[in-house]
Structure formats: C-alpha cells, structure tokens
Amino acid sequence: MNSLEFCNLPLEELNLVLKSRMNEHRYAHSLNVAERAVFLAEKYGADPEKAEFAGLVHDICKGIPNEEQLSIIENAGIRLDEDTLKSPALWHSVAGAVYCEHEIGVTDEDVLNAVRYHTSGRGNMSILEKVVYMADLTSAERNYPDAEYTRNLTDYSLDEGIAYGVRWIAGDLERRGFPKGKDTGALLEEYKNVEITFEERK
Ligand SMILES: [Fe+2]
Ligand SMILES: [Fe+2]
C-alpha cells in the first residue's frame, strides 16, 4: 500500500504516528485488522488498498484518554447525540475519523466513514464500511468465545457475519446497560431478516 494515496504521510511515518498513539497490543491489532480487511475486501468487492489503510488507522484514537477523544470531537464542531455521549467506547471511532481528516489529511469519504462507523456500524453501510466493521470483529488475534465461529461465518457470508455480529453486540450492550444508539439500532433493524444459514455449529 502507498499510504500517500490516502493521507499526507508515507507509510513509515504513519506507522510511527500509530506506534506513538497506541500500545504494542493495539498496534498489532491494527496490523491484523488491516490484513483481514484486505482479505475481506478482495472477497467481497471493496477496494483492498482503502481497506488496508482504513484497517491500519481505525483505532488511531483508541489509545488516548476519553476526555481527549471527546475534545477532538467537540473541537471539530461535532455534537454527539445523547446515546453516543453515554457510550465512551464509541468516541474513539468518531475522534479517529476527525483525526484522520484533520491531522493526517485523509480526504476519501468512504475511508473516513469506515473509521467513523467501525464500532457502531450504521444502516446502509458501504462495502468498505462492512469490511472494516467485520475485520475489526474477526481479526486474527480476537479470541472471545465466538471469535472463530464469527470469522468462519464472515468468510462464508459477509452479511451473515454482520447479522450475527450486530446481534451479539446489541445483546452485549443491553447486558452491560448501555444504549445501543441509533446507528447500531439501524444496522440491527436492517439485518433483522438475515438468517444464519452457515452450517458450522458453534
Ligand atoms: Fe475500535
Ligand atoms: Fe479495533
């Protein structure tokens, strides 16, 4: 990937920025998401170079304190809705998109949206957004109980992967007492009739 196609930093410098903003574990996760995003992009018809770049930068603001994430968002003039304000776990995605646009010069709207919505999802996602959303949930190091199943399911069908993933996320948010918010709610609604036909049992 030539990162200069997507931002104003060559890849070596972009990597230094990423490493300065996150610990080793998160940096390794970012590399894994980028790799997985390329695989899913090639399989499902998104631009693999954009997918790789978006995967690499998707958590560019996750390693900084929540208050800093919020001030990046507010300084960009973005007003979060009430549910998003109650869910600090979503802030790094919004802040990440702002950071990408303002600090490293990303102009591609699809890439910015893939970063912006990688945690919440939203209704009517582009293929690139879907690919990054699922690459983040199924990157190689993910080892939550259903990770292997979700990975295999996503390899079988991107839409079934999303249907399964968003239902799991919505259930988890409910269990933990967080609102699912309008974007996750819209994705859940859009996928409510998608049946899981994949035969491998969990
Ligand atoms: Fe994230
Ligand atoms: Fe991530």
Position 92 in a domain: yes
Q: Which ligand is nearest to the CA of 135?
A: 2
Domain count for the chain: 1
Domain, as residue range, for 102: 3-142
- Domain contains 189: no
* pTM for the structure as a whole: 0.96
196 in any annotated domain: no
CATH code, domain with 80: 1.10.3210.10
Phi-psi category of 87—alpha, beta or left, where left has phi over 0 and alpha has psi -120 to 50? beta
- Residue 126 Cα, ligand 2 centroid: separation in angstroms? 18
CA of 59 to the centre of ligand 1 (A): 5
Q: Quick one: tokens of 105?
A: 């010069």
Query: What does each of the 202 residues of the chain score in pLDDT, given as a tens digit?
Result: 899 999 999 999 999 999 999 999 999 999 999 999 999 999 999 999 999 999 999 999 999 999 999 999 999 999 999 999 999 999 999 999 999 999 999 999 999 999 999 999 999 999 999 999 999 999 999 999 899 999 999 999 999 999 999 999 999 999 999 999 999 999 999 999 999 999 875 5
pLDDT value at residue 201: 58
> Which residues lie near ion ligand 2 (Cβ < 5 Å)?
59, 136
DSSP string, the chain: --GGGTSSS-HHHHHHHHHHHS-HHHHHHHHHHHHHHHHHHHHHTS-HHHHHHHHHHTTTTTTS-HHHHHHHHHHTT----HHHHT-GGGHHHHHHHHHHHHHS----HHHHHHHHTTTT--TT--HHHHHHHHHHHS-TT--STTHHHHHHHHHH-HHHHHHHHHHHHHHHHHHTT---HHHHHHHHHHTTT---------
DSSP assignment of 4-40 equals GGTSSS-HHHHHHHHHHHS-HHHHHHHHHHHHHHHHH
Ligand 1 centroid – CA 8 distance (Å): 22
Residue 198 falls inside a structural domain: no
The CA 199 to ligand 1 mean position distance, Å, reads 29
pLDDT at 200: 73
Q: Is residue 89 part of a domain?
A: yes
C-alpha 122/C-alpha 177 separation (Å) is 20
